Amino acid sequence: MTREVFIAHVEREQEALRGFLLALCCGKKDDADDLAQDALVKAYLSCVGYQDKGKFRSWLFKIAYNTFLNHKASLRCTESIDEARTLVSSTAADSSFEHQDLYLALRTLPPKERSAITLFYLNGYNIKEIATITETSEDAVKKQLSRGRDKLKEELKNEKLKS
Partner 1 sequence: MMKDKALEELFLAQKPHFSDNAEFMASLTKRLDAVEFIKQHQEAAIRRYKMLMVTAFVVGVISGAVAIGYVLSTPADVPLFTFHVQTGILLRLAEYSRIIAATGLSLLMTLGVISIISNVQDIRRMRNRIYAIN
Report the residue from 52, 81, 135, 153 that binds partner 1 according to the rule CB under 8 A: 153
- In the complex, the smallest distance separating the C-beta of residue 18 from partner 1, rounded to whole angstroms, is 6
**Taking CB under 8 A as the rule, does residue 7 contact partner 1?**
yes
- Told to check if 37 binds partner 1 by CB under 8 A, we report yes
Decide if residue 125 touches partner 1 (CB under 8 A).
Answer: no
87 contacts partner 1 (rule: CB under 8 A): no
11 is an interface residue for partner 1 by CB under 8 A: yes
**CA–CA dist 134, 66 (Å, integer):** 8
For partner 1, what does the binding mask look like between residues 47 and 86, x meaning CB under 8 A? Answer: ----------------------------------------
Contact in structure between 55 and 99 (CB atoms under 8 Å): no
Q: Report the distance separating Cα 146 and Cα 5, nearest Å.
A: 38
User: Minimal CA–CA distance to 113: which of 129, 136, 82, 87?
Assistant: 136
- Please give the C-alpha separations between residue 16 and each of 1, 13, 105, in angstroms, as whole numbers: 21, 6, 21
Residue 54, Ramachandran bin (φ over 0: left; ψ between -120 and 50: alpha; else beta) = left
List residues near partner 1 by CB under 8 A: 3, 7, 10-11, 14-15, 18-19, 22, 33, 36-37, 40-41, 44-45, 92-93, 98-99, 102, 117-118, 120-122, 127, 142, 145-146, 149, 152-153, 156
